Structure formats: C-alpha cells, structure tokens
Chains A and B, each alone.
Chain A
C-alpha cells in the first residue's frame, strides 16, 4: 500500500526563481493538504485541495499556489522565491472532507533558497 510520495526530495533555488513541488496521495485518498515546516518548528498549513478546488487556505501570500489533478495528485507552486521560503514542504493526504479524517504525511521536499 503506497503511502504519500513527494518529489523531488531536495531542491536548491535562488531568490526570485519559481519552483513546483509534486505530491501523490496515499492510495484511496482524494484530499491533499500542503504544509511548510521551518527548521525547528511545527508544520504550518498552506492550503487544502479537494475535487480539484482549493477548499481552505492558511496565512500564506498569493505567491503560493496549487493545483489538484483528476487523479488526486497535487502540485505546489511558489513564485518569486525569498530566502524565508527555505523550509521542508510537506504534503498530507486524507479521505474526503470529513471533519476528523486522519491526515497522512509524506517525507517532504527540502527546499533551500540561496
């Protein structure tokens, strides 16, 4: 049973560039959420996608955008990268929009901005 997979595992970019991160949800899951985890901190919610629509968004600027595809996989796009965007980006999947559905996390993409 495949869990949540994310690619790439590591990425190095420079300020001002754009980046796309990818996520395949756990088999059978249809909802994808993205989180940003700075070093030594807890993950912070970016947004959640269900039925190819953004359902909820955290306190992140419009430079952060996403997409969900018909096969439930998802992409996170970040434009005009800043040094402060350096973090571990985590994807989590769950089943439906049920209130207490457990979220399963991937191992993340480590993004470094130079």
Chain B
C-alpha cells in the first residue's frame, strides 16, 4: 500500500527556473515531513523538513509548502542550478514511529 504519491516522476527545468515537486499522502498519522536529495552513487541526504503545524518553511532556495487539510506538501526550488540535478524524495514519518516512508522519487534535470 503506497502511503505517499509523488509527482512528477521526472522534471526538466532550465537554469534559473523554478522546480516544483508535489506529494500527497493518505492518512493523518504522520508528524514529520522531510525531503531527501540523492545524487547517483550516493545515499540520500536530508535537504529540508517541516512539521504539520507549520504551513511553509524556507531555507535558501528551497521552500516546503504544507497543506494539512488537503494532505499535500510540495518542494519548490527557486533559481534552479545544474548542481541541483538529482533525485528528490518526499518522506513521511508516522507519529510514534521511527520508520521513514519514502515516495518513489522525482528525477530533476536542470539544463544550462
């Protein structure tokens, strides 16, 4: 049972553009929503995270928007750079759980 649906599967953005990745989840028993970035041949690395009592969080060029009632959250990458080319995963953590549940990932390519 897939608890989180991530879209798009792949994304091509020109340098300087905005990259947007969306995720939707199926129940409300989650209390932590991190995003991970993974480069080829590397493990995932924490990029930015949000709690459900916050609607938006910004760190540099990266912003998470969270809509608790719609059970949706998204990652915006402003001024996208070729170095941002990687696979991005939205992740859920269940309340009272230690397990991270990953989306299927979005492969972002930023072209010069």
Chain A residues engaging chain B, CB cutoff 8 angstroms: 4, 31, 33, 35, 40-45, 48, 55-56, 58, 90, 92, 97, 99-100, 102-108
Contact = CB atoms under 8 A, between A and B. Distances in A.
A105 B44 contact: yes
Contacts of A43: 44, 89, 100, 102
A52 to B, nearest CB: 15
Contacts of B46: 102-104
A42 B31 contact: no
Contact of B97 (A40, A56, A106, A107): A56
Nearest to A103: B100
Contacts of B104: 40-42
B31 A106 contact: no
A55 B99 CA distance: 10
B9 to A, nearest CB: 9
B51 to A, nearest CB: 7
Contacts of A41: 104-105
A57 B34 CA distance: 20
Contact of B43 (A4, A40, A56, A58): A4
Contact residues on B (Cβ < 8 Å of other chain), bracket: 20 to 34
B32 interface: yes
B89 A42 contact: yes
Contact of B31 (A35, A100, A108): A100
Contact of A45 (B43, B89, B95, B100): B100
27 contacts: A33-B98, A33-B100, A41-B104, A41-B105, A42-B89, A42-B102, A42-B103, A42-B104, A43-B102, A44-B102, A45-B101, A48-B98, A48-B99, A56-B98, A56-B99, A99-B31, A99-B32, A99-B95, A100-B31, A100-B49, A100-B51, A102-B34, A102-B46, A103-B100, A104-B45, A107-B43, A108-B43
